[in-house]
């Protein structure tokens, strides 16, 4: 996952602890709530992502 501009990420209400880009982040199969936040620019975006078992998902999110 990546974002423009960079952001802090929370997945299912838990902070990931590092900013985007997030590479090789493993999530269980199913639907997850993701919140991307860039406090410096006062930007936030929430989205849902569905992960398929054994699959790879890549997202680039524009916060503007």
What gap in Å lies between CA 35 and CA 13, rounded to an integer? Answer: 8
Residue 29 pLDDT: 95
pTM value is 0.90
What gap in Å lies between CA 49 and CA 23, rounded to an integer? Answer: 16
pLDDT digits (tens, 9 = 90+) for 31-59: 999 999 999 999 999 999 999 999 888 99
């Amino acid at each position: 996952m990546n974002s423009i501009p960079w952001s802090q990420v929370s997945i299912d209400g838990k902070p990931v602890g590092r900013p985007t880009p997030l590479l090789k982040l493993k999530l269980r199969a199913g639907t997850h709530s993701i919140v991307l936040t860039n406090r410096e620019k006062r930007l936030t975006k929430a989205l849902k992502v569905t992960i398929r078992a054994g699959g790879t998902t890549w997202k680039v999110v524009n916060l503007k």
